[in-house]
Amino acid sequence: MISQYKSVVEKQPYLSESNNFESILSNEKKEFLEKNGYVIIEDAAPTNLCNSSVDAICEFLDISRIEPSSWYKERPLNSIGLVPLHQHPAFWDIRQHPKIYNTFRHLLDEDELWVTMDRASFRPPCRYDLEAYGNDENPMHWDYDFRLRNKNLYQGLIYLTDTHQNQGAFACVPSVYKKIRDGKFEHANALEKFGSKGLFLRDVMEFTEKDIITIDAPAGSLIIWDARLPHGCVSNHYHMPRFVQFITMFRADDIDSIPTEVEQSRDERIDCFMKMRAPECHRNLNGQLDPEPYNRAKLSSLGEKLLGVKRW
Ligand SMILES: O=C(O)CCC(=O)C(=O)O
Ligand SMILES: [Fe+2]
């Protein structure tokens, strides 16, 4: 399975766009994120790059984007649709896109960033006649123990196709985020149950569907959320699959800004990239190919810095 994919990104004029990042993540959007725990940035990733990432996922999973009979295998790789693919050049073309960088740059108020070499998600519509595909909900949870952190931590994903509210959309509980942010969370004691794999909201408090917001947005939208926001995704009851690429950025070489669970040294990052391997924290998933059998991405000057191979 050698990809025919050719990287489309040439050297990026990201510095000349640097004065313009206000238009990508406006101050209103930054305030919305602070107020609600999440924000949607439309048009962050161009449609052609999103389509290339969808193609990469389809090739990896051996499915067709439009042919429902190809979406359901005897057994899915896992129950929540994670696609263990990381170094595909299509993923890198989104990671090194100047708009995405400038969004995080404005958000974190920092020029020197590293990007995560994160995976993707494919979730076809639920099929109740197939036990393995009857429910693909990812229940509300936190991934990182935010009590251990003294800096804001943001997570993110990109909708690679238009995503309807019922289409396995990203979902979250802003009311809980607001209480945590304000130091008014009544169930703080129950957070003692936090483990290295995160914590489900249902193990901390009771809540109902009405507390959950589901986010529909067009292809190319970047959704960023604060790690204090309980989040997950609803089951896909639409007629089309959901395709997502996960992505976030951290301050380069700043251990405090990176959760220990996903922390990597500069050398480890470069090694993963050069050897086409998943970051260690994402290894050994069902269906993983190690190394990933694709051509290595062609990095722009920005991409080289976001990886760490070139110093900022
Ligand atoms: O798939 C989703 O929409 C949510 C994924 C999630 O929980 C995460 O990226 O931490
Ligand atoms: Fe999560």
Determine, yes or no, domain membership for 273: yes
The whole-model pTM stands at 0.93
Q: What is the CATH number of the domain that holds 120?
A: 2.60.120.330
Average confidence score pLDDT of the chain:
92
Please tell me the number of Cα atoms within 13 Å of 17 on its side-chain side. Answer: 16
Q: Please compute the mean of the pLDDT values over residues 48-61 and round it to a whole number.
A: 98
Determine, yes or no, domain membership for 56: yes
pLDDT surpassing 90 at residue 142: yes
Determine, yes or no, domain membership for 35: no
pLDDT at 20: 54
Determine, yes or no, domain membership for 98: yes
Determine, yes or no, domain membership for 30: no
Q: Please compute the mean of the pLDDT values over residues 105-114 and round it to a whole number.
A: 94
Q: Tokens 């193990």, residue?
A: 203
* More reliable by pLDDT, 61 or 149: 61
- The domain total for the chain is 1
DSSP assignment string, 66-122: S-GGGT--SS-SSTT-EE-----HHHHHHHT-HHHHHHHHHHHT-S-EEE----EEE
Q: Report d(CA 172, CA 214) in Å as an integer.
A: 7
Determine, yes or no, domain membership for 33: no
Residues near ion ligand 2 (Cβ under 5 Å): 143
Segments forming the whole domain that contains residue 132: 45-307
Please indicate whether residue 170, judged by its CB atom, sits closer than 6 Å to ligand 1: yes
Determine, yes or no, domain membership for 249: yes
pLDDT surpassing 90 at residue 278: yes
Least confident piece of the model among 150-154, 229-233, 254-258: 254-258
pLDDT band at residue 16 under the 50/70/90 scheme: very low
Please indicate whether residue 143, judged by its CB atom, sits closer than 6 Å to ligand 1: yes
Atom 10 (ligand 1) nearest CA = 143
pLDDT at 9: 42
pLDDT band at residue 143 under the 50/70/90 scheme: very high
Q: Please compute the mean of the pLDDT values over residues 277-287 and round it to a whole number.
A: 95
Determine, yes or no, domain membership for 217: yes
Q: Please compute the mean of the pLDDT values over residues 11-38 and round it to a whole number.
A: 73
Per the structure block, which two tokens stand in for 244? 């997502």
